[in-house]
Amino acid sequence: MDFEYGPEHEGFRSEFRDWLAANLPPELCLDDPADDRVASDRETFERRRQWQRTMHAAGWVGITWPKEHGGRGAGLIERVIWDEEYAAARAPVLPGAMGLFLIGPTILQWGTAEQKRRHLPAILSGDEIWCQGFSEPGAGSDLASLRTRAVDHGDHFVVNGQKVWTSGAHFAHWIILLARTNPDVPKHQGISCFLVPMDSPGITVRPLVLLTGHRHFNEVFFSDVVVPRAALLGPLDQGWKVSTTTLMHERHSAGARNPIQQVARLVALARTLEVDGRPAWENPVIRQRLAQLAIDCEAMRLTRYRNLTRMIRGEPPGPEGSILKLSGSELGVRIADAAGELLGMHALVNTPTPAVPDAPRWFNRLLAARQYTISAGTSEIQRNILGERVLGLPKG
C-alpha cells in the first residue's frame, strides 16, 4: 500500500461509521449482502430504496461523483473507506447500485448535458433504478455478436430482440441497452447504446430464478419498441466504446468486496462442528485450509490497494482489475467448497437446525458462489486477458 490515511480520511471514516450506527435500520442488515444483491421481494426492495433516499439526503451516496451532478466530489481513498465501513455495518447492497456504480459513471462520461441533468440526480436519489441490457442468448463473453436490432427511422429507432440474465430488470425503471444499428460493418463497429424506459410499449420481462430459489435476473424481450433518437448514449455505432466504460466500472466493482467475513464465519463453524469426535478446528488439515483462505483474502486486500495506488497516481490500469475479479470470484467458490466439505450433507439445509443454526447461509453460499465466476466476465475470459495482455502469451 503506497498511501496512508491522513487525518481527513480518518475523520471521514469515523463520520460515516457514526452516521451508519445512528441511521441504518437493523432490520435491513444482512450477514452476506452479496448473496442478496437484488431484493427478494418488492417490499424489501422498497425498504432498501427508502434507505438509499435516507443516505442520499445525508450526502452518503455517489461520494466520488462530481459535486455539480449531486455527488460529494470525494476521492478514491474515501470510496475505499466507504466500501469498508458499509460492508462492516452489514448494510444491504443499495437497490440503485447498478445505476450508481456502472450506468451513472457511463452517463457521466458519454451523456449529453440533457441526459446528465435528467438521469444523474434521479440515480443518486433512488428515484430511477436501472438495469444492464447487454447479454443475449448468443452473446455473453462474445458480447459484440449481439443481434438485438435498432432500426434507424430518423427521429426514432425501432428495437426488436432479446436480452438475458438482466439482473433486477423486474424492479428497474430504465435499461441501458446495446443494440445493433449497422449489420453491414465489422461487428464491433455497428453497435449503439440507448437509455430506454422499462415501461416502453413492447418490452416484456420474464423472471429467471437462481438455484437458491432467489429471483435475481430476467429475460427481457423487445418487440417493435420505439426509442427516440435523443435516447442514444454516445455517438451512433460507437456503442462498443460506451459499453467498455460500463464494463470497466463493473469489473472494478466486482473485485470490491473482501470475503474475509465469510472465512471468519467458517472458522466459527469449525469450532462448533465435530470431526472424529473432536472439534473440526483442532484438525490440522482443516486449520491449514482455513488459514490459506484467510491468507488469500489478505492478498486480495493488498492487491486492491495496489490497484488504487496506480489509479491515484494517474497511471494506466494494470492487471490488478482482472486479478481481483478472477481471484475474488474463485476464492468465493473455494470458501463455499470448504463449507460444503465441513458440513457434508448439512450444507444443503436451508432452514436453521441444531446442526446448522445459521442456515440458509451455507446453502446459499454453495449454490450461489459460482455465479461470480460467470457474471461481469467469466474466469476463462479473465485468464485469457491476463495470459495474452499481461503475460504476452500467444492467442489461444
Ligand X SMILES: Cc1cc2nc3c(=O)[nH]c(=O)nc-3n(C[C@H](O)[C@H](O)[C@H](O)COP(=O)(O)OP(=O)(O)OC[C@H]3O[C@@H](n4cnc5c(N)ncnc54)[C@H](O)[C@@H]3O)c2cc1C
Judge contact between 125 and 65, C-beta under 8 A: no
CA distance 347 to 363: 6
240 binds ligand X per the rule CB under 6 A? no
User: What H or E segment, with its residue span, contains residue 7?
Assistant: helix 7-23
246 binds ligand X per the rule CB under 6 A? no
Backbone angles phi, psi at 258, to 5 degrees: -105, 130
Told to judge if 250 belongs to the known catalytic residues of this protein, a careful annotator would answer yes
Backbone angles phi, psi at 197, to 5 degrees: -70, 135
- Which one of 179-187, 332-340, 349-357, 369-377 is the stretch in contact with ligand X (CB under 6 A)? 369-377
Judge contact between 76 and 91, C-beta under 8 A: no
Give the interface size with ligand X as a residue count (CB under 6 A). Answer: 19
**Scanning residues 119 to 148, which ones bind ligand X (CB under 6 A)?**
131-135, 140-141
- Count CB-CB contacts under 10 A for residue 231: 20
- Which one of 22-30, 70-78, 235-243, 372-380 is the stretch in contact with ligand X (CB under 6 A)? 372-380
Q: How far is the CB of 276 from ligand X (least distance, A)?
A: 38
Cell output for 225? 419498441
Judge contact between 116 and 108, C-beta under 8 A: yes
Nearest Cα neighbor of 20 from 87, 99, 80 is: 87
- Which one of 2-10, 236-244, 335-343, 377-385 is the stretch in contact with ligand X (CB under 6 A)? 377-385
Q: Which is nearer to ligand X, 28 or 374 (CB)?
A: 374
**Scanning residues 251 to 310, which ones bind ligand X (CB under 6 A)?**
none
101 binds ligand X per the rule CB under 6 A? no
243 binds ligand X per the rule CB under 6 A? no
Backbone angles phi, psi at 193, to 5 degrees: -115, 135
Q: Catalytic one among 85, 128, 136, 250?
A: 250
Q: How far is the CB of 59 from ligand X (least distance, A)?
A: 28
DSSP summary character for residue 70: T
167 binds ligand X per the rule CB under 6 A? yes
Q: Which is nearer to ligand X, 134 or 240 (CB)?
A: 134
Binding site for ligand X (CB under 6 A): 131-135, 140-141, 165-167, 217, 371, 374-375, 377-378, 380-381, 384
